[in-house]
Amino acid sequence: MTNGEDIYILDLTTGKTQAVLTDKNDSRDAIFGPGGKNIYFSWDKTGIFNIYQMALDSGNINQLTNVIGGAFMPSVDLKGRLAYTRFTSGGYKIAVLADPSPIDATKTTYLPEHDDAALASASNSDPLQQSALRQGKTTYDDSKLPNYDVTSYKTHYSPLSFLPRLMVDYGTLKAGSYIYSYDTLNKYGFLAGVDLNSRGDYDLFTILEYRNFGPTLFLEAYNQVQNTSFKVDSTDLILRGLFDVDAAKDKFRYNLLEFDLGASFKLNENNEVRTSFILSRYGARSKFRELVGETTLNFNYFIGRDFSLKFNHRNYKPTRNRAISPIGRTVSLGYDREFNKFLVDFATDRVVSAEIFDNYNYNKFTLNWTEHRSLPIKNHTLTVDLQGGFIDTAVDSFFNFFGGGLLGNRGYPLFSIEGRKFLQGRFTYRLPLLGHIDKRLMHLYFDKIYLSLFYDYGNAFNRSIRLSEFKSSVGTELRMDSFSFYSFPTRMFFGAAYGLDSFQNENQIYGKEWRFYFGLSFGYFD
């Protein structure tokens, strides 16, 4: 390669590469045709990108298109029809050739170069035009240029884009949208989202990024509000002097607010350091029905300040199964110095700022190390995941590590396993059920399905490690890779986990039951 891209074939089994087309021109967008005997690609051999076909056994190359704007990204179906992206004066268009055939090379070549400049296509100009072009080319003096005005680059943003969002949250339907825009050079940009339900609950976030310096500077803001109510029990009704059972409900509104300000430093392709300051404020509003009317109480129950430093390493082998069954390693190391205030009581001698807080200042360390390894059987993998956490001083349970749920020990609920120390291992064996579905349904394209069997083992605790108190769970998971509208990754999973141990926490017994998980997102969680 001297001026552009070349085409190579990578053997995913051996990791060896084979050169297919290497020259001074630019060749790209290569795909295998049906049967794998031919490849189709875009090549600017004539000065304009067009679609070509190469027979792998003989190396013979045929040109299939002859456009003047450019032809890219070929795709060939089982019937031999060729679809490609065509660049025109009106932008990119999708074009289809029902029966592509080789084009005579004499109709696609250019005139011989004159003074290192190709003049015109041999098939698109008559002799008089060619003569005029030559005359103009030989008399043109490119040292005498017009006196153009030079101006600095100004930020040009892409049009504001909206992506509708619909979700079910705690039995209610939330409707909203993602909103985003970035400038042409990807130096500035923002991503925001909002959703709302009929009872006034909402989720709101925005992420601003600035990449004009070496690191990426970011500002993130999150606000979540949820309303709920509880029926007052009969004893409390008597104490309040209330006898209207239907009206006796206490109402609560929770308001969680967080701001993250920081920078991320990309050390190389696989390593990144992220540092940030996180300010959190969690508040609530309570409305109590009493004999004299309704009493409203507004208060903050948590104020947090966190100086965070994280190192992330990610190195995956490039395979077509990288998303659904990766091979490689991820490592995340974290350190947080936190200064927190947590509500313990209310003062009786004042109305304003009546909250009484305890201070919880501590150091927190976290580790997540994941190894994805291939097995002798093709496309079978084994994943070993080690998670750990440590808080160096006694804290309220509000600040504990929670070791259950989807990202922890899957056989138990999230809050059932808790403590300021956390240690867990997860072992997963994954294999393909359907490696290439190649089916479409409406806007969805289905690609592959994998099955996994897993074993989780770990615990969260406040004392020393006691292996006798560690919890185990086993389970299985189905994953399906698909795409929406041919572009957006759409990953689905369904998991079932069974907790092998039974234990009690806060008067609640956990374990010895099945728990089920379902997810639909752009990616998986490991």
DSSP string, 416-472: GSEESEEEEEEEEEEEEEES---EEETTEEEEEEEEEEEEEEEEEESSS--GGG-EE
Torsion, Cα 450 451 457 459, to 10 degrees, reads 60
Which pair of tokens denotes residue 237? 């009704």
Q: What pLDDT sits at residue 423?
A: 96
CA separation for the pair 147, 357 (Å, rounded): 70
pLDDT tens-digit profile of 320-376? 888 888 999 999 999 999 999 999 998 877 767 788 999 999 999 999 999 999 999
pLDDT tens-digit profile of 128-179? 555 655 555 556 666 777 777 888 777 777 778 888 888 888 788 999 999 9
The CATH number of domain 361-526 is 3.10.129.10: no
Q: What pLDDT sits at residue 118?
A: 45
* Residue 208 backbone phi and psi in degrees, to 5: -110, 135
CATH 2.40.160.50 in the chain: give the residue spans.
Answer: 361-526
Indicate the SS3 state at residue 311: strand
Helical ranges in 42-161 per DSSP H: 127-139
Residues 5 and 25 sit within 8 Å (Cβ to Cβ): no
CA separation for the pair 350, 356 (Å, rounded): 11
CATH 2.120.10.30 in the chain: give the residue spans.
Answer: 7-109
Count of Cβ atoms closer than 10 Å to residue 477 Cβ: 20
Tell me how far CA of residue 278 lies from CA of 124, 141, 192, 305, in angstroms.
Answer: 64, 61, 18, 6
Which pair of tokens denotes residue 188? 């500035």
Tokens 């190391």 — which residue? 333
User: 7-109, superfamily in CATH?
Assistant: TolB, C-terminal domain (2.120.10.30)
CA separation for the pair 271, 526 (Å, rounded): 17
Enumerate residue ranges in the chain where pLDDT < 70.
Answer: 1-3, 110-142, 234-248, 291-293, 351
Q: What pLDDT sits at residue 403?
A: 92
Query: pTM of the full predicted structure?
Result: 0.70
